[in-house]
Amino acid sequence: MDLGLVAIGAGIAVGLGALSSIGEGLICAHAIDGMARNPEMQSKLQSTMILAVALDESTAIYALIVAILLIFVFPGIAADATKAAIPAITLGL
């Protein structure tokens, strides 16, 4: 497996994880809009907003973990698989 493909995959994972910031902005904007329209609901909207932002942030953390695994774990697995496959290829198996 080519190391460049692993780097591209990790970049895509981080890029898509970074898009969660758009979701967080939308969550906060709509919660503030709701608080402005109905101030009595501020405590309920704020607690729901905090929970939603935490769940949205977890997607970015998962994307970061995937990128780290691709960079540091997958190249080692690919190198081991390549080493194991070379004798089988040369022997014609």
Per-residue pLDDT of the chain (93 residues; tens, 9 = 90+): 577 788 888 888 888 888 888 999 999 999 999 999 999 999 999 999 999 999 999 988 998 898 888 888 877 665 555 565 555 555 555
The CA distance from 46 to 33, in Å, is: 11
The CA distance from 8 to 55, in Å, is: 26
pTM: 0.67
Task: Judge contact between 74 and 6, C-beta under 8 A.
Answer: yes
The CA distance from 91 to 3, in Å, is: 26
What's residue 17's pLDDT?
85
